[in-house]
Amino acid sequence: MTKQRLVAAIDIGGTNTVFGLVDVNGKILLKETVSTEHFPIPEDLVAVVCEHIKRAMLQFVDTSELVGAGIGAPNGNYFKGTIEFAPNLKWEGVVPLAKLFSERLLIKTVLTNDANAAAIGEMMFGGAKGMRDFIFITLGTGLGSGIVANGEMILGHDSFAGEIGHVIMFADGRQCGCGRKGCLETYCSATGIKRTYSDLLMSNHDKANLQARVADAKYIYDKAISGDKDAIEAFNYTGDLLGLALANSVAYTSPEAIFLFGGLAMAGDFIFKPTIESFERNLLNIYKNKIKILPSQLNENDSAILGAASLILKELN
Amino acid sequence: MTKQRLVAAIDIGGTNTVFGLVDVNGKILLKETVSTEHFPIPEDLVAVVCEHIKRAMLQFVDTSELVGAGIGAPNGNYFKGTIEFAPNLKWEGVVPLAKLFSERLLIKTVLTNDANAAAIGEMMFGGAKGMRDFIFITLGTGLGSGIVANGEMILGHDSFAGEIGHVIMFADGRQCGCGRKGCLETYCSATGIKRTYSDLLMSNHDKANLQARVADAKYIYDKAISGDKDAIEAFNYTGDLLGLALANSVAYTSPEAIFLFGGLAMAGDFIFKPTIESFERNLLNIYKNKIKILPSQLNENDSAILGAASLILKELN
């Protein structure tokens, strides 16, 4: 009997590392979580994760074989298999993470930036199945992106392509964590809409400081549902700018569709309606009415692990 | 004796159509020009050009064979071999130009947008030899662009990718010919700098209207050389904005280099210095000091025909 092929999928986050076993159809057979922050030395995290994976494989040993590992990580360099100077991780400098995993698991291991991995997940198991040209946007704490063109992930000469969140929208705009001003993600992200909502509260109402401080994206969504004008305006402002940025993005790679993923994308019409309106209004004529803006079809809880799995599955195909 | 392989190269412009014969090393064996405007019916232009090409081939018939044709054209659709609704041509609607040439010459014929063709020319015979990721920018009447990533021309789902000239820089900026406002090419092009210079003359001097009207990009360059402050300021403003737009472009495809081509790029340091300064200042940290902004290595007079030739040569390889 032919053994079933399984891959190990590892998603390194600033807070947690999620990992597991996935089959070629995207079925998740194992999913576990460890705290990334508890491992100041990357080798220690690798040892623990590999131990879990090997132990889990024991129960499948008669029917399955582990054929590869995929890793999604912030500032992941696909060409080198390294994490490089990731601002959200405690690990400093350049960490050869793919090599560390490969040496312990003795299987082919590939690594890429987390948004790129999620984009490949969308292509393999989500709404981008069969698409050769699309853009994947994650609206989380920041704005991450993965660009697929001609059926391939655009990596760039250094593997750091696809940083649409750091396109400068206003030369003298909001301060960004990257050190520059006016980056798209300072407006269009969970953090961005929170700031927009706070600004609106403070300019439209007196003494709203306290309320402004406690607001998060989910809170703003709940307020919008209840009809709160400031909350709705915050979504409209965010969508208006996101639509413009996505219209500009089309001028680069003319995708068939753009997928929105992450907390902010869960707000449904509150975010999609103003985004699509602004998008169509700002598109060059030749692109109008033919490019779809769609919610990601990946389950939010599984996207990271499916993305990492897709990365190695695509490689092995 | 093996016959030498030649390709027909055709560049369709709003005013003139340039065509010729090119060998696999990029040597131009024939170059001729006809007026595009004199042919309100595309079939008539095709007939004349093909007649010239066939007649020219007679002199090479013993030593060479014609193996394909490449066409660069405004609004060229690579997938369909058509020109679609080109605003600068008298031909209306969709013209199946590749098919028309292929039927008369009885050889494989491919067609793409003129800036894309020039980008492939840069890759095959210019400064981008061996590069897998670069952006090619033409600074002419407008701003055209061709994006190469993973060693392939980015065409997009509809073959209309690479319209960086129509990225909106300011939501309420200068009126663009495309009907929208604030497009990059209304600032960074021969037309754009002319407008900037006129604006500067009119705001810095009284009664400068007449001088402002006669200025063209070459005139502004000559003035800059002679030390004219408004002309130098016009180049600085143009470069400043171009540098920002190119820094934003890097966030999409992270190219190894960006090539500037066309009249404005001939202004040397006047345009390159402010462009590079602004580029580096506006780049995200991970990209700083590693991406080159270079003058195109294509001869301005031959670039169109070499681009069209490269398109078919790349295809035949």
Which chain A residues are closer than 8 Å to B82 by Cβ? none
Tokens matching residue B31: 């170059």
Residue A88 forms contact with B (CB below 8 Å): no
What is residue B202's predicted lDDT score, i.e. its pLDDT?
Answer: 85
Query: Sign of the C-alpha dihedral, residues B191, B196, B197, B203?
Result: positive
The residue written with tokens 């007196």 in the block is A206
CB A185 within 8 A of CB B291: no
Tokens matching residue B53: 């090409």
Which chain A residues are closer than 8 Å to B162 by Cβ? 251-252, 254
Is B194 found in the same domain as B258?
yes
Tell me the nearest-neighbour CA distance from A255 into chain B, angstroms: 6
Is B55 found in the same domain as B18?
yes
Residue B180 forms contact with A (CB below 8 Å): yes
Q: What is the mean pLDDT of residues A206-211?
A: 58
CB A233 within 8 A of CB A266: no
Nearest chain A residue to B158 by CA: give it.
Answer: A254
Which chain B residues are closer than 8 Å to A137 by Cβ? none
Nearest chain B residue to A279 by CA: give it.
Answer: B168
Is B234 found in the same domain as B148?
yes
What is residue B212's predicted lDDT score, i.e. its pLDDT?
Answer: 55
Helices (H) and strands (E) in chain B, counts: 9, 13
Is B209 found in the same domain as B77?
no
Which chain A residues are closer than 8 Å to B284 by Cβ? 163, 166, 178, 180
At B238, the amino acid letter reads: T
Is A142 found in the same domain as A33?
no
Tokens matching residue A1: 């009997």
String of b and e for A227-264 (b: at least 16 CB within 10 Å)? eeebbbbbbbbbbbbbbbbbbbbbbbbbbbbbbbbbbb
Least confident of A4-8, A75-79, B74-78, B88-92: B88-92
At B256, the amino acid letter reads: E
* Cα–Cα separations (whole angstroms), residue A177 to A16, A59, A81, A142, B287: 21, 45, 25, 9, 16
Mutating which of B169, B252, B280 best tests the A interface, going by the most A Cβ atoms within 10 A?
Answer: B252
CB contact under 8 A, B161 and A285: no
Is A268 found in the same domain as A228?
yes
- At residue B158, the 3 state secondary structure works out as coil
Domain of A280: which CATH number? 3.30.420.40
Is A226 found in the same domain as A279?
yes
Element at A72 (helix H, strand E): strand A64-73
Residue A294 forms contact with B (CB below 8 Å): no
CB contact under 8 A, B247 and A168: yes
At A223, the amino acid letter reads: K
- At residue B24, the 3 state secondary structure works out as coil
Alpha carbons A9 and A18: distance in angstroms, whole number: 8
User: Which one, of A241, A242, A232, A230, lies nearest residue A200 by Cα?
Assistant: A230
CB contact under 8 A, B155 and A158: no
* Cα–Cα separations (whole angstroms), residue B139 to A214, B83, B265: 49, 22, 7
Query: Is the pLDDT score of A207 beyond 70?
Result: no
Which chain B residues are closer than 8 Å to A166 by Cβ? 251, 284
What is residue B8's predicted lDDT score, i.e. its pLDDT?
Answer: 98
Of B84, B149, B282, the CB nearest to A168: B282
% chain A with pLDDT above 70: 97
CB contact under 8 A, A255 and B75: no
Element at A42 (helix H, strand E): helix A42-58
Alpha carbons A134 and A149: distance in angstroms, whole number: 7
CB contact under 8 A, A252 and B154: yes
Query: Is the pLDDT score of A202 beyond 90?
Result: no
Residue B132 forms contact with A (CB below 8 Å): yes
Which chain B residues are closer than 8 Å to A287 by Cβ? 158, 160
At B85, the amino acid letter reads: F
CB contact under 8 A, A168 and B244: yes
Is A311 found in the same domain as A164?
no
DSSP B2: P
CB contact under 8 A, B150 and A147: no
Is A174 found in the same domain as A112?
no
What beta strand segments (E) does A129-202 contain? 134-139, 143-149, 152-153
Between B261 and B85, name the one with better pLDDT: B261
Is A262 found in the same domain as A312?
no
DSSP B3: P
Order across the sheet with A4-12: list the strands: A28-35, A16-23, A4-12, A64-73, A109-113
ipTM passes above 0.85: yes
Q: Which domain holds residue B253?
A: 131-295
Counted domains in chain B: 2
Tell me the nearest-neighbour CA distance from A273 into chain B, angstroms: 19
Is A72 found in the same domain as A193?
no
Is B142 found in the same domain as B231?
yes
% chain A with pLDDT above 90: 87
Order across the sheet with B82-84: list the strands: B76-77, B82-84, B94-95
Q: What is the mean pLDDT of residues B145-163?
A: 97
Alpha carbons B103 and B88: distance in angstroms, whole number: 25
Give the predicted TM-score (pTM) of the model: 0.95
pLDDT band of residue A221 (cuts 50, 70, 90) is: very high
What is residue A206's predicted lDDT score, i.e. its pLDDT?
Answer: 64
Tokens matching residue B245: 């737009």
DSSP B168: B
- Counting Cα atoms < 13 Å in the Cβ hemisphere of B248 gives 28
CB A311 within 8 A of CB A110: yes
Q: What is the mean pLDDT of residues A215-232?
A: 92
What is residue B207's predicted lDDT score, i.e. its pLDDT?
Answer: 58
**Chain A with chain B: Cβ pairs closer than 8 A:** 133
CB contact under 8 A, B156 and A133: yes
CB contact under 8 A, B156 and A167: no
Q: What is the mean pLDDT of residues B75-81?
A: 96
